[in-house]
Amino acid sequence: MQHIPTMDIRTLGDIGFDGQLRRALEPSQEYDVEKWLFVPNTYTEYRYILGTRGENPLICIGINPSTARPGALDPTLKSVERIALGNGFDSFIMFNVYAQRATSPDDMEWVLNDELHRENMRAFDYILSLSERPTVWAAWGTVIEKRDYLWDCLQEMIAIGQEHGARWVKCGRVSAAGHPHHPLYLRADSRIEDFPVEEYAARRPAAKKSRKRGGVL
């Protein structure tokens, strides 16, 4: 199954995180809300959060969501869950730098949707608040180079992480350009280690420092 964006998310009505979270906490006929955190709670053109509930989650950061949903994890999410449990966490939360669903990052919108980004940052603040000292796994690979605005989104995430005292980690080797390893091809027994995300973001290429705004496909 693939997801190719076919509409402007701004036409979907209210995408506010607070309202979507309230609905996600209500009982669902499609999945067990005691086990899963899925925001929005239905499959749509964007996703803020997908994960399992626990006291000590590993928060994994990708670039953008694909087709995974509760009970139907894709290979990347299955790997994320294995790595989380193998490193002593009791749950995982998958979050993304940008919330638009697209199986291929090449299909992401070229112009930043400010509302979607703002609500995605509200979601990030929320999931960090679930842990006393959250652990955030940088796992986006080289895909961050696909769109200029992703770097600015990441900078905001770093700032939010500082407010919560987040520990940033990586798993596996970094690329030649310093990008953290994607989860998909990691061994199940791979270990997490500290990742200097602020130093990494400061090395952003000079040509990548402008952010487009608007939100059209």
Nearest Cα neighbor of 59 from 153, 123, 112, 150 is: 123
Q: Cβ of 41: how many Cβ atoms within 10 Å?
A: 21
Q: Is residue 15 scored above 80 in pLDDT? A: yes
- Dist. CA 170–CA 179, nearest whole Å: 10
112-116, 148-152, 195-199, 209-213: least confident range: 209-213
Q: What's the mean per-residue pLDDT of the chain? A: 93
Q: Are strands 192-194 and 167-171 parallel, antiparallel or unpaired?
A: antiparallel
Give the DSSP H/E element, type plus range, for residue 138. Answer: strand 135-138
What average pLDDT does the segment 51-80 reach?
Answer: 96
- Dist. CA 217–CA 211, nearest whole Å: 15
- Taking every pair of Cα atoms in the chain, the longest distance, rounded to a whole number of angstroms, is 49
* pLDDT at residue 101 in the model: 96
The predicted-structure confidence for 129-167, as pLDDT tens digits, reads as follows 999 999 999 999 999 999 999 999 999 999 999 999 999
Q: Is residue 8 scored above 90 in pLDDT? A: no
> What confidence tier does 122 reach under pLDDT thresholds 50, 70, 90?
very high
Q: Is residue 50 scored above 70 in pLDDT? A: yes
* pLDDT at residue 206 in the model: 56
Cβ(22)–Cβ(29) under 8 Å?
Answer: no
Q: Cβ of 187: how many Cβ atoms within 10 Å?
A: 12
- Dist. CA 91–CA 135, nearest whole Å: 12
The predicted-structure confidence for 66-116, as pLDDT tens digits, reads as follows 999 999 999 999 999 999 999 999 999 999 999 999 999 999 999 999 999
Nearest Cα neighbor of 140 from 102, 91, 108, 178 is: 178
* pLDDT at residue 18 in the model: 98
Q: Is residue 214 scored above 50 in pLDDT? A: no
* pLDDT at residue 145 in the model: 95
* pLDDT at residue 204 in the model: 83
- Dist. CA 200–CA 136, nearest whole Å: 15
* pLDDT at residue 185 in the model: 87
